Amino acid sequence: MDSPILTALANHLWQSTLFAMIAGGLTLLLRENSARVRYSLWLAASAKFLVPFALLSAVGAHIPWPLGPARTGLSALSFAGQMATQFSQFGGGAAAALAQAAHVDTERESVAIAIGAVWTLGTLMVGARWFFRWLLVHRSLRESTESRLAFVIPVRSSLSQLEPGVVGVLHPVLVLPRDMEQRLTAEEMHAVLAHERCHVAWRDNLAAALHMLVEALFWFHPLIWWLGTRLVAERERACDEQVLADGHPREIYAEGILKVCEHYLEARLACVAGVGGANLRQRIEAILKAKLIERLSGARKLVLALAAGAALALPIAVGVLTAPHVRAQEGAPTTDEPQFRNVSVRLAPADPGILIKFSYGGRFHYRTLRQFISDAYGVADSQIVGRDWTKESGYDITADSPPVPPFDPKYAVMIRALLAKRFGLVVRRERRQMDGYVLRISPGGSKLTPRGVDREWIRFTSGFIDAKSSSLGFLTTFLRHALVAPVVDRTGLRGSYDYKVTWNRPLAASPVEPTAVAKALEDQLGLQLEARRLTVEVINVLSLKSPKETVTGEAAALNQVAQLTAARR
């Protein structure tokens, strides 16, 4: 369990709470209308706890939107996106307070485990309470016999003293006390059965089971239990209204309910829909009063439709407007800043693999296109997603490069500008969980040698690093490429250091062994490399130009493609 999970949970809780409060406000507006309408609003508020807005926002984030906030400046759309971002971050104080207890560092893990244990214990206790109540209902059902009473679902007769109720969700049956026909008159019996018929028609047991799941998962939230009482109250009142609308006399129906409550026990399980439940006195008063139920006016229907549409559209719009659909030239250099000039792009031969041959300072650097993009954004190759990289073309790039070392932040900006202009790279920044590594100071302490401000000097291959007056930023970047996984620096070390580390590789072409690298870092530098599940930024590649569009000149592109095709044959 880590802080992003708890942060998301905290955001989900306050958003669902706000949704329930809005639903409550609508029920006040509709207090003169049918109880079934109010019941539907409370049920929607309950279901919202099972559907995070973040899920709908994630759907919106994957909707293509070529003119996103990053490209529309201060337009109305950009302003709306900024407002949506602020809305999605509202309540961050509460989220941070909850998330603080589950920091991924080891000193916080005990707190995170305790939170998980308390939540699990609470869920089990709620489930156990319902299980024991269900045993009574199940015993009554098991000891029952088939009844010949005509009804919309099978009817069973029981010797138990439980009130009549609909039992089951997928295949419901009506369980009636065996002596019920002797205690109620024929008209009272018909009215009570009409009540149960409403529960069956509206599938109230399924809705109740849904809310029971919400109660089990969010047992610690007082609003959840209050929602449960409102659901039962409006459910029973809705059935009462329908029974009276079907023409059953008020006094006879009320008398039938009173007799049932007098002689039989309530099941006390929301997913067993009976006649009792809610505030009996208020129900009887409402039944006996000849209160006129208003039909929904056109204006109120419009309000409900707009509210329902907003509940779905708003989080999706947040995802669309706040998704970081950015072009690779984000942070591109201006004319006064260093940039590559006289750039020429050609297709590379197929034999060396998918490589980029890039001229810099009289030397050649060979990178895959994926590595080239990872350098531009300072992430591991595995954090560049969205394409099948084995099918990408290789390129031979030549350019005049200014005297900017590859470890300077300006160099990454230059690469992004090149990728955007010549390769048409469009990306989206996302957060995902991936297997990676955390770099820490080992318990024995760091063995790095501090170095003052001096000329940075670095030599490296796939088996060693030798650095003078260099920060740990390069070490972290190198480890990302070598291990093909995210690496997060949590050493807390700043400034420049001299360091050298080597590890054994049986074969020069063999992949780097993480255990060998970890041992070398701890023995030689006093740094610990710990494998962890991390939430990291990934660069989702949305678009790249085709080789025909990328290489210099259309004629040259066609010529290169023809040569490659002939070579492969």
Residues 407 and 555 in one domain: yes
Burial pattern 20-44, b for ≥16 Cβ within 10 A else e, equals beebbebbeebeebbbbbbbbbbbb
- What is the enclosing helix (H) or strand (E) of 413? helix 409-423
List b or e across 142-154, with b for residues whose CB sees 16 or more CB atoms inside 10 angstroms: eebeebeeeeeee
Predicted pLDDT of residue 352: 47
**Does the residue 125 lie in any domain?**
no
Going by their DSSP bridges, the two strands 384-385 and 527-543 should be labelled as: parallel
Rounded-to-integer distance, Cα 187 and Cα 258, Å:
14
Q: Which residues contact 176 (CB under 8 A, 6 or more apart)?
A: 147, 149, 155, 156, 157, 158, 164
Q: Which domain holds residue 172?
A: 131-291
**Same domain membership, residue 227 and residue 272:** yes
| Count of CB atoms situated within 10 Å of the CB of 392 | 15
Q: Could you give the CA distance from residue 135 to residue 262 in angstroms, rounded to a whole number?
A: 23
CA distance 450 to 393: 43
342 and 394 inside one domain:
yes
* pLDDT confidence of residue 8: 78
Per-residue pLDDT in tens (0 to 9) along the chain, 569 residues: 445 667 778 888 988 999 999 999 999 989 888 999 999 999 999 999 998 877 777 666 666 554 444 433 333 333 334 434 334 443 444 344 333 333 444 445 677 788 889 999 999 999 999 999 999 899 989 889 999 888 999 999 998 888 999 999 989 999 999 999 899 999 999 999 999 999 999 999 999 999 999 999 999 999 999 999 999 999 999 999 999 999 999 999 999 999 999 889 888 888 888 887 777 888 898 899 877 787 777 888 788 888 877 777 777 776 666 655 444 444 445 556 778 888 888 877 654 444 566 555 545 565 678 888 888 888 888 899 988 887 777 787 877 777 776 667 787 888 888 888 888 899 988 888 889 999 999 888 888 888 766 666 677 666 778 888 788 887 888 888 788 888 988 888 888 888 888 887 665 556 778 888 888 888 888 999 989 888 888 999 998 888 888 886 544 544 555 555 555 55
Distances (CA, A) of 244 to 39, 122, 254, 286, 382: 18, 41, 10, 11, 65
Picking from 273, 291, 309, the residue at the C-terminal end of a domain is 291
pLDDT at 74: 36
Flag whether 122 is in a domain: no
Closest-CA residue to 48 (of 17, 26, 27): 17
| Phi, psi for 3 (deg, rounded to 5) | -60, -35
Same domain (yes/no): 141, 221:
yes
Inside any domain, residue 160 = yes
Task: Tell me, yes or no, whether 109 lies in a domain.
Answer: no
Q: Are residues 358 and 449 in the same domain?
A: no
DSSP H/E element including 150: none
Same domain, 142 and 215: yes
> Domain count of the chain?
4
What pTM did the predictor assign?
0.58
Q: What spatial distance separates the first Cα and last Cα of the chain, rounded to whole Å?
A: 53
531: phi > 0 → left, psi -120 to 50 → alpha, else beta; which?
beta
Structural domain includes residue 119: no
Same-domain status, 554 and 409? yes
pLDDT of residue 254: 93
**pLDDT for 561:** 52
In this structure, are residues 65 and 325 in contact, taking their beta carbons and an 8 Å threshold? yes
